[in-house]
Homo-oligomer: A and B are copies of this chain.
Amino acid sequence: MSPADEAKREIPADERIEMLRTMRRIREFESVVQNKFADAEIPGFLHLYIGQEAIATGVCHALEEKDYLTSTHRGHGHCIARGLDTDRMAAELYGKETGYCNGKGGSMHIADVEAGMLGANGIVAGGIPIATGAALSAKMRDTDEVAVSFFGDGALSEGAFHESFNQAAIWELPLIGVIENNQYGEMTGLDEQHPPSTLDDLTIYGEPYGVHRERIDGMDVEEVYRTAMEAVERARNGGGPTLIECVAYRFEGHHEGDSQFYRPEGELDEWKQRDPLLTYPEKLVDEGVITEAEYVDMEEGIETEIQEAIEFARESPLPDPEQAYEGLYAEGGEGA
């Protein structure tokens, strides 16, 4: 199947249901950890992905196991969509030894290198050069692996974005940049952070590099999936980098604790009409892909999963203090 055909194909029912499930799992995870954070069970910072589920889900559904991704401070959605286990994720958020990073990373640094997940990142745009390197490595090792970097609209103002895409374009690397335009960088709207020339289409930031550019609805998981699929196939086949802007909205505060003083009245409600977890289940039910009852079952299963994940996290031990001094360097190795 050619990439174009692949992208246009009817998405099989089981895959659609799978995407719905992934989105629902992200939503559930985020909602529950939001509560646990409010209860002071979870330490540190928490940046929720609620509202943006379709992006991580659609993109990651287009990836294969061998591929790589880098994420941001708002990374739980990418982790779940990538297939990380919610129990070890929750444990990491709780700072427990059973977490993905044994409690060393927390929400802003969850990683599972085994799964090609090269880490959330607390530095805006910090992951883009790393993904560029994974794409370079994929190419040098003569594989058809691709690397996806997720980042926010705000990251487009950092030099790291530009240096990376410039280099990726010169070297024709299999790199896909996914701009999650959620309308804000922290508490400041797009129009204060980007010139007017960019506001209609943030992918214009990639224009100099001659990369493929797509601007799509980030609340439509199937559109995201199809677009990502095209980009992935192109990258696998040596067609070089793509930059995709997914237009969406963040339903919660920038981080938990944010008063959200900056939202114009009604804006949130308007966007919530397009909540993928409202529209997509409805659509699948309407189209007879899933029954309401099945969806309720699915939801219940997910609630149980996340409840158990939280239990797992709660019951896991905190790391032994001495572990603070481990893991910085590789053990042994020649000349180590």
Q: Which residues of A contact B (CB under 8 A)?
A: 156-163, 166-167, 169-170, 192-198, 204-205, 207-210
Smallest Cβ-Cβ distance to A171: which chain B residue? B195
A76 to B248: give the CA distance in the assembly, Å.
Answer: 50
Contact B209–A208 (Cβ < 8 Å): no
Smallest Cβ-Cβ distance to A160: which chain B residue? B159
Chain A contact residues: helix, strand, loop or mixed:
helix
For the complex formed, measure the closest distance between the CB of A74 and the CB atoms of chain B, giving whole angstroms: 22
Smallest Cβ-Cβ distance to A197: which chain B residue? B210
Contact B207–A195 (Cβ < 8 Å): no
Chain B residues whose CB sits within 8 angstroms of the CB of A159 once the complex forms: 158-163
A195 to B173: give the CA distance in the assembly, Å.
Answer: 12
Chain B residues whose CB sits within 8 angstroms of the CB of A156 once the complex forms: 166
Chain B residues whose CB sits within 8 angstroms of the CB of A161 once the complex forms: 159, 162
The 3 A-B pairs with the shortest beta carbon distances in the complex, nearest first, are: A159-B159, A197-B210, A169-B195
**Which of B163, B192, B196, B208 interacts with A197 by CB under 8 Å?**
B208
Smallest Cβ-Cβ distance to A202: which chain B residue? B208
Smallest Cβ-Cβ distance to A165: which chain B residue? B195
For the complex formed, measure the closest distance between the CB of A276 and the CB atoms of chain B, giving whole angstroms: 29
Contact A208–B208 (Cβ < 8 Å): yes
Contact A192–B170 (Cβ < 8 Å): yes
**Which of B166, B194, B207 interacts with A166 by CB under 8 Å?**
B194
Contact A207–B208 (Cβ < 8 Å): yes
Contact A163–B170 (Cβ < 8 Å): no
Contact A194–B207 (Cβ < 8 Å): no
Smallest Cβ-Cβ distance to A170: which chain B residue? B195
Smallest Cβ-Cβ distance to A206: which chain B residue? B208
A204 to B205: give the CA distance in the assembly, Å.
Answer: 11
Smallest Cβ-Cβ distance to A157: which chain B residue? B166
Chain B residues whose CB sits within 8 angstroms of the CB of A204 once the complex forms: 207-208
Check A158/B169 contact, CB under 8 A, given A207-B207, A208-B204, A208-B205. Answer: no
Chain B residues whose CB sits within 8 angstroms of the CB of A192 once the complex forms: 170
For the complex formed, measure the closest distance between the CB of A126 and the CB atoms of chain B, giving whole angstroms: 12
A205 to B205: give the CA distance in the assembly, Å.
Answer: 9
Chain B residues whose CB sits within 8 angstroms of the CB of A157 once the complex forms: 163, 166-167
Contact B193–A170 (Cβ < 8 Å): yes
Smallest Cβ-Cβ distance to A162: which chain B residue? B162
A210 to B205: give the CA distance in the assembly, Å.
Answer: 11
A205 to B208: give the CA distance in the assembly, Å.
Answer: 5
A156 to B207: give the CA distance in the assembly, Å.
Answer: 14
Check A198/B194 contact, CB under 8 A, given A157-B163, A160-B159, A166-B157. Answer: no
